[in-house]
Amino acid sequence: MYTCPCKALPIYNISMDLKERIQQDLITAMKAKNEVATSAIRLLKTAIMRFETTGDKKIATDADIIQLAGKELKQRRDSIEQFEKGGRPELAAREKEEITVLETYLPTQLSEDEVRTIVKEVIASTGASGKSDLGKVMGALMPKTKGKADGGMVNRIVQELLS
């Protein structure tokens, strides 16, 4: 079952593609006058339109949209850090609210323990033994964690386990 980020319309047909779902969520958020959800979804839609209009004429797939949503999340996290350093907790709080909206468009994120287990398996399968094998491990690992875990966390765990 799917619940839209603004919680005004509880259930959609789960078979709709991500782009359609985002459009429906935008309409729902606007009708509910949910400014945070409306803003976050509009920014994601803008990123999708920018992706589709640059270079070759292409239509964003669900995988592309997940990647774009991940980039938007990363930007929000960076903004939160800057706002907190700058003494603007109200702006940081708004960014955190937008993160919760954007996370609904991503696959369920892996916990740190799950990532650690996957990293150990990849290290064992690649025969990596030290930090010099970081590239080999990351190359085999990223397809398994892409979109499901924060790349910074994955990199930190790999470095920790290879040292």
What is the model's pTM?
0.70
b/e burial code for range 110-148 (CB count within 10 A of at least 16 → b): beeeebbebbeebbeeeebeeeeeeeebbeebeeebeeb
How many alpha carbons lie under 13 Å from residue 37 in its C-beta half-sphere? 23
The CATH 1.10.10.410 portion of the chain extends over: 112-162
pLDDT of the chain, 163 residues: tens digit per residue:
445 555 544 444 444 689 999 999 999 999 999 999 999 999 999 999 999 888 676 888 888 898 899 899 989 999 999 999 999 999 999 999 999 999 999 888 888 999 999 999 998 888 888 888 888 888 888 888 877 887 788 889 988 888 8
Answer yes or no: are the C-beta atoms of 65 and 39 closer than 8 Å.
no
The CATH 1.10.1510.10 portion of the chain extends over: 18-105
Please give the pLDDT value at position 20: 93
Please give the pLDDT value at position 15: 45
Please give the pLDDT value at position 11: 41
Please give the pLDDT value at position 1: 42
Taking the CB of residue 160, how many other CB atoms lie within 10 A of it?
Answer: 10
What CATH architecture applies to the domain 112-162? Orthogonal Bundle (1.10)
Q: Give the residue among 115, 127, 109, 126 at the shortest CA–CA distance from 160.
A: 115
Please give the pLDDT value at position 16: 62
The CATH class given to the 18-105 domain equals mainly alpha
Please give the pLDDT value at position 4: 54
